[in-house]
Amino acid sequence: MTNAVYLDWNATAPMRPEVASAMSVALARCGNPSSVHRWGRAQRHATEHARAAVAALVGARAEDVVFTSGGTEANHLALLGSSHRSVLVSAIEHDSVREAVADAISIPVHSSGLVDLSALERLLAATKPPALVSLMLANNETGVIQPVASASAVARRYGALLHCDAVQAAGKIPVALDVLGVDLLTLSAHKIGGPQGAGALVLGRDLALTPLLRGGGQERGRRAGTENVPGIIGFGAAAELARDDHDSEKIARLRDRAAAQLIDIAPAARVFGAEAPRLPNTLCITMPGVAAATQVVALDLAGVMVSAGAACSSGKVRPSHVLAAMGADPEEAQSAIRISLGWSTDVAAIERLVDAWGALYRRTRAEAA
């Protein structure tokens, strides 16, 4: 279907045309950034230009950006490379954080989806130092924006470091290391219109990291392996564009329009995280009595692409640990889908979504009658 509507931007954003152009040029060049001859120096120059662009996106120093293969590797480098005795992660973190450390301590969240800062303080008080806290900036399923700066202040009181997975937030809301007060921050290119397979761990201050990948001195000894130059260049181009993107208000209006129209169709529908600050593009909503998997397939057949929770489980639709942590009823949680918008989303896309969603809802009501 050539006129399909894409509303799964939190899974991956379409590549920006400017990014594709920059990568096309990069793919035509040869040279290893570690080589000292002219082709190698040209690749090094291009890599460092991209590093500066990624650093500027979050107000960091270029030398504090460590390029990785994506957000998952960056999260693992933060949690495993910082060599802390105790690791605490919020109950709504991405699986790449939740599963990185087997004995990590879970920090509960409120029903709103916001982390329980009082619980964080109690857990830190009872935890052996040195400790590392991992709290995402914005949740990938609900869009709820976390009080990271406040969590950082709590961590500081107990001498703990704070890692922030900002993969979903970057490019959608302002992200600044000094405002957040974090020590380590994760980014991913493909969430901001860059290529898949490129990410970064950004250091908020000088920290000693034990590399997960050894065998070379790349990335200032923090991540071995020849750099993915085309991917890094694409990441840098996407970061430059993301700094100038000011569509958040328009996207939020479209998101709210979709929510209002869907609730008009099904008044019992629930929007998760509605009472908390959220990303402007994210809507997690239930269709009462209809499984998320059924909704995703039916909407896809109607030419509308959405997802059920996180899209990082090899295509599997499974119960959401995020909604469970928020205290959602299991049956209700299983009826929730994630609708996520982006810079090219328009009113026509929202109308297609509403028409397809409404048709499915009315059909299921008729079948149940």
Do 260 and 208 share a structural domain?
no
- SS3 letters for the chain? CCCCEECECCCCCCCCHHHHHHHHHHHCCCCCCCCCCHHHHHHHHHHHHHHHHHHHHCCCCHHHEEEECCHHHHHHHHHHHCCCCEEEEECCCCHHHHCCCCCCEEECECCCCCECHHHHHHHHHCCCCCEEEECCCECCCCCEECCHHHHHHHHHHCCCEEEEECCCCECCECCCHHHHCCCEEEEEHHHCCCCCCCEEEEECCCCCCCCCCCCCCCHHHCCCCCCCHHHHHHHHHHHHHHHCCCCHHHHHHHHHHHHHHHHHHCCCCCECCCCCCECCCEEEEECCCCCHHHHHHHHHHCCEECECCCCCCCCCCCCCHHHHHCCCCHHHHCCEEEEECCCCCCHHHHHHHHHHHHHHHHHHHHHHC
Q: How many angstroms separate the CA atoms of 334 and 209, rounded?
A: 40
Residue 319 binned pLDDT confidence (cut-offs 50, 70, 90): confident
Q: What is the pLDDT of residue 367?
A: 84
Q: What is the pLDDT of residue 124?
A: 97
pLDDT tens-digit map of 326-352: 999 999 999 999 999 999 999 999 999
Do 250 and 236 share a structural domain?
no
Q: Which of 30, 164, 284, 312 is catalytic?
A: 312
Do 346 and 198 share a structural domain?
no
Do 265 and 191 share a structural domain?
no
Q: How many angstroms separate the CA atoms of 221 and 266, rounded?
A: 55
Do 173 and 44 share a structural domain?
yes
Do 318 and 235 share a structural domain?
no
Do 145 and 208 share a structural domain?
yes
pLDDT tens-digit map of 188-211: 999 999 999 999 999 997 788 999
Residue 27 binned pLDDT confidence (cut-offs 50, 70, 90): very high
Q: Quick one: residue 22, left, alpha or beta (phi over 0 = left, psi -120 to 50 = alpha)?
A: alpha
Residue 2 binned pLDDT confidence (cut-offs 50, 70, 90): low
Identify the CATH number of the domain in which residue 284 sits: 3.90.1150.10
Q: What is the pLDDT of residue 1?
A: 47
Do 189 and 224 share a structural domain?
yes
**Comparison of pLDDT for 319 and 293, the residue scoring more:** 293
Task: Please identify, among 194, 228, 243, the residue that sits at the C-terminal boundary of a domain.
Answer: 243
Q: What is the pLDDT of residue 339?
A: 98
**Comparison of pLDDT for 309 and 247, the residue scoring more:** 247
Do 22 and 166 share a structural domain?
yes
Task: Please identify, among 210, 243, 276, the residue that sits at the C-terminal boundary of a domain.
Answer: 243
Task: Please identify, among 201, 223, 243, the residue that sits at the C-terminal boundary of a domain.
Answer: 243
> pTM for this structure?
0.95
Do 223 and 96 share a structural domain?
yes
pLDDT tens-digit map of 147-173: 999 999 999 999 999 999 999 999 999
Do 214 and 107 share a structural domain?
yes
Per cent of the chain over pLDDT 90 is: 90
Residue 310 binned pLDDT confidence (cut-offs 50, 70, 90): low
Q: Tell me which residue range forms the domain holding 316.
A: 5-13+246-368
Residue 111 binned pLDDT confidence (cut-offs 50, 70, 90): very high
Do 178 and 60 share a structural domain?
yes
In this structure, of 35-39, 126-130, 273-277, 313-317, the range with the lowest mean pLDDT score is 313-317
Total domains in the chain come to 2
- Whether 189 contacts 195, CB under 8 Å: yes
Does the active-site annotation cover 312? yes
